[in-house]
Every structure is written in C-alpha cells, then in structure tokens.
Amino acid sequence: MEEVFISGFDKFNGKEVAIKGWVTNRRESKTIVFLIVRDGTGFTQCVVAQEKTGDEIFSIARQLSLETAVVIEGVVNRDEKQIGGFELLVSRLAVLSQSENYPISNKPHGTDYLMDNRHLWLRSRRQWAIMRVRNQLIQAIHRYFQKNGFIQMDAPIFTGNACEGTSTLFGTDFFGQPAYLSQSGQLYGESMAFAHGKIYTFGPTFRAEKSKTRRHLSEFWMIEPEMAFYTLEDDMELIEDFMKNVVKDVLTQCASELKILERDTAYLENGVNKPFCRMTYSEAVKIIRGEKEVNGKNSINTLENDLKELQEKIRKVQEEIAERTNKTKQSGVKQGEISFHKSKIDALTGELHELEETAKNIPQWIESAKNFKEGGDFGGSDETVLTRLFDVPVMVFNWPHEVKAFYMKRDEKDSRYARGVDVLAPEGFGEIVGGGERETDLNLLIGKIRENELPMKEFEWYLDLRRYGSVPHSGFGLGLERFVAWICGLHHVRETIPFPRMYGRLFP
C-alpha cells in the first residue's frame, strides 16, 4: 500500500493509497460518514460507506472527533465538486491519537479567542493558506535577489545604538551593557554593500511602540537590500521590478491558496502588468488635499462618495438584520431556518460594526486630508486617501528631509527634500516599502547626527564608510508581513505570521 500526500492525489486517481492526517470535519448519516481530512499538504473528503468498510470501521468513523489523528486507506476518486478535485473512498481506517473537545469549531470565533488558540488556529484552512503564501513569498524574494547577483548577509539583532534615533526600542542586557533589539539592519547593510556590491538582509526586526493597529507588530520580518552605485532612480526601478516579479511568482504558485482566501487578484495583477505610479511628495500632498485631481478624481470628493456608499450599505445591512430577526420570530418557522438566520445575523452584526467603524473614521480622514500641512509625514489615513485614487502601487519620493532618517541623501536641486521613497500598496494597505538613496557626504552626515542629538561615538564605524571610498548607494526595507497582508487581502497583519508578537500579546 503506497503512502501518499493529499497534494499528490492527481497521480493516483483510481488507485488504492494510504494517507496520514487529522480529521477537520465530519458529517454523518446512517450508512455513510464524510470526513474532511488534512495531512499538512492539503484537505480532502474521505467517504466512509458502511457497506464497504464493514460495521467495525464504520462505527469508528462515526465517532471520530475533530482533530483526531488517523491513518486511512482508500481509493482516490476524481470528483470536481470536492475540495482539491478528489476524494478518498475509504476501505480501512485506524485512529492514531484521539482528540477531544477541540476548541476551534467550524463556526465563527472572535479574533481574541482565535489568537489565544493560535497554536491550533494555524491548522485551519485559511491560516494554512496564508502560511503557504508567506512561504512562497519568502522563496520568491530569495529567488529574485539570488538571480540578480545579490548576496544575503544578515545584520546583527543585538545593537548598541538606536539606529535612526527615532523609534522606541526594546532594551536588553548584553553582558552588563545596555543593548537594543534591532529596529533595522540598514546601517550594517550599507557596510556590507561596500564589500559585496549588492546585498540583502532578511531577518526579524523589533519595534517597542505601543501601537494597536492592523498594520503593526512588535516583532516582524524585514528584507533590506542595499546596493552600491545605485541612485534613487535605480532604487525605484529595482523596487518596481522586484515587486512585480515576486507578486507574479506568488500569483502563479499560490493560485489555489488565494482562492481559499477568496482574494480578488485584480489589483495584484495590475501591480504585475501596469507601471507603478510615481510622484514626488509635493505632488502627493496636493492630491491628498484635493488640490490636484487624478484621472478626474478628487481625493476629498472620492472620500465623501465612499462615505455615502458606506452609509447606504450600513442601512441595507441594518434592514437585512431587522428582516431576518422578524423571520425568526414568526410562528411555524422551522428550527433549521431560525438557526440559519441566527448565524447570518451574527455575521451581519460583525460586518455592521466594521462598516460603522470605517464610517466613523472617514470624516476624520477628510478633515486630516484637507488640513494636511506640507512638510509632515503621512499618517495611515493620508496613505489611504492617496492610494484610494489608484489601482496600482504608488511610489512617493523626495520627502521633506526632517521627516526622514539622518542617513537619507539630501536632494541636490532642492535641499528641503531628501531622496527617500515610500511604496504604498493600493486597497488601503498603505506603506509596505520604505527606502532611498543614502547620504554620501561625510560632513552633511555628521551635521545630521548632531542635529538629531545622536551619540557620534556610536556612529564612527558608519562614518568610516564615507571616509574610505564613499559612493552613491541606495536600498530599501520591505515589511514581509505587510506584503503578505496585501497579497492575501487580509484585514490585519497578525494573521500573516505564525505567532504574532504585538502590544498585549506574548502568548502563545
């Protein structure tokens, strides 16, 4: 008997095989039991018919509880209606390990509950699909850089100084001296690029801000390429080519996972096929404020329309809830129907809360957009306002130098600006890449370090890069989890990493 994986069923149609896995769902009737079994590589329906297996195996199948580990033998049968396109007609079945009262059912759960059970939640279908997309994206990133002559060289995680001097860092004790968990490998990346030309780091990064938003984690993975002899323009070319390639890679390799996630891939395909939008910070500010139109669309009007549409949607959802509530109260309604309406109402209530939350925010976003002061950094809402007008990622470059890190190169044509670039993903996902050209002038750098009141001594090694063969160079940082969230169309980055570490969450 050949032992196979569910992912390889297509090679065994009509043949008898064995699989090992876990029962994720069971539907039973008098003479037939349907099991949904997962083996890590996929999910499949196993059909246990009493007349085929005999009474003993059939009665075992009837009593299988969720997440019981099993070994099953049966014939692979093509059936397009089933998940994965196949099912297994069971001939024999044995329990490897019984599971009782599994905490996660096929019914809706709240996020807090699911996060408390993250170690088990990872088994469920959506989470399984997300992790496979994450894996594919990581592989695609490595493939891209390795193919294009980049060397992976990782930066240290313990650092003696607060790199950019801005973020709140996690403090720790390094054999008696204060040390911090790295918030960026940026400065180390530069020195490695001067040794190897083109490098990238790929590692964990830590931020201690008490941020509670859908875009923040305390511990996340960042990819930071750094290239010698690259200008800002070269950097932007690379970012776009890189993003197009890895997104395309994931779209083709993870089509079935994205289908499980019910991801509408239109914007992702745009990202692959259409050129990204590029604009200067000053242009972006005009657009955000509504002073400049994009393809006939004005930011403020667009938002106001969004709000109207949202309010209309809220009204409809409220109506539907009222309607369904009425139906459950009418006499002579069957239990099943009541139950059906109940679950619909619960889902709608959740949807309503989210819609109301957004509706509450939009007026604030409009205000903030109208009153945006030139010279400031974009907030999350400004990013949404701007990207709402585009169906491709937007690259904003030449930022006011005050809002960017001290190492960002000053624009030679206009010293108010620094040669930084942020890439904003469409569909409200916001900034997923931040990068730019680095300052090459030793004295300008020293001035910036003083201006930011950073400890000069700690940066001496970094300044050496300008003393010994300083050349133009650029790089960028990509937030892996934000990228995964965009590709999967997820509401929150916490689902993009196996065990998220965020404000208020250290377990499991």
Restricting to residues 40-69, which ones interact with RNA according to CB under 7 A? 45, 47, 49, 65-66
Q: Which one among 254, 432, 484, 487 touches RNA, defined by CB under 7 A?
A: 432
Q: Which of residues 72-91 bind RNA (CB under 7 A)?
A: 79, 81-83, 87, 89
CB of 461 to RNA, least distance (A): 21
Residues 6 or more apart whose Cβ sits within 8 Å of residue 392: 267, 270, 271, 274, 275, 276, 277, 426
Rounded-to-integer distance, Cα 221 and Cα 454, Å: 26
Q: Which of residues 311-370 bind RNA (CB under 7 A)?
A: 334-340, 342-347, 349-350, 353, 357, 360-361, 364
For residues 426-442, b (16+ Cβ closer than 10 Å) or e, as one string?
bbbbbbbbbbbbbbeee
Site mask for RNA (CB under 7 A), range 371-410, x = bound:
------xxxxx-x-------------------x-------
Structure tokens at 221: 């993975």
Q: Which of residues 465-484 bind RNA (CB under 7 A)?
A: 477-479, 481-482
Return the half-sphere exposure (C-beta side, CA atoms, 13 A cut-off) of residue 389. Answer: 24
Rounded-to-integer distance, Cα 151 and Cα 154, Å: 10
Rounded-to-integer distance, Cα 418 and Cα 406, Å: 10
Q: Which of residues 161-190 bind RNA (CB under 7 A)?
A: 164, 166-168, 184
Closest CB to RNA among residues 146, 343: 343
Q: Which of residues 484-503 bind RNA (CB under 7 A)?
A: 491-493
CA dihedral 48→54→56→61, nearest 10 degrees, is 0
Determine the interface stretch with RNA among 29-37, 173-181, 282-290, 457-465 (rule: CB under 7 A).
Answer: 29-37
Cα dihedral sign for 21, 22, 26, 32?
Answer: positive
Closest CB to RNA among residues 258, 369: 369
Closest CB to RNA among residues 143, 353: 353
Phi-psi region of 489 (alpha: psi -120 to 50; beta: other; left: phi over 0): left
Closest CB to RNA among residues 149, 209: 209
Determine the interface stretch with RNA among 26-34, 194-202, 285-293, 464-472 (rule: CB under 7 A).
Answer: 26-34
Q: Which of residues 107-136 bind RNA (CB under 7 A)?
A: 107-113, 115
Closest CB to RNA among residues 222, 238: 222
Give alpha helix (H) positions in 330-478.
335-370, 380-387, 442-451, 460-467
CB of 493 to RNA, least distance (A): 6
Rounded-to-integer distance, Cα 390 and Cα 426, Å: 7
Q: Which of residues 209-228 bind RNA (CB under 7 A)?
A: 209-218, 220, 222
Per rule CB under 7 A, is residue 14 in the interface with RNA? no
Closest CB to RNA among residues 161, 253: 161
CB of 469 to RNA, least distance (A): 26
Which phi and psi angles does 477 have, rounded to 5°?
Answer: -120, 130
Hey, what amino acid is at 178? P
Specify whether the CB–CB gap between 232 and 421 falls below 8 A: yes
User: Which residues are paired to 437 by β-bridges?
Assistant: 474
CB of 353 to RNA, least distance (A): 7
CB of 173 to RNA, least distance (A): 22
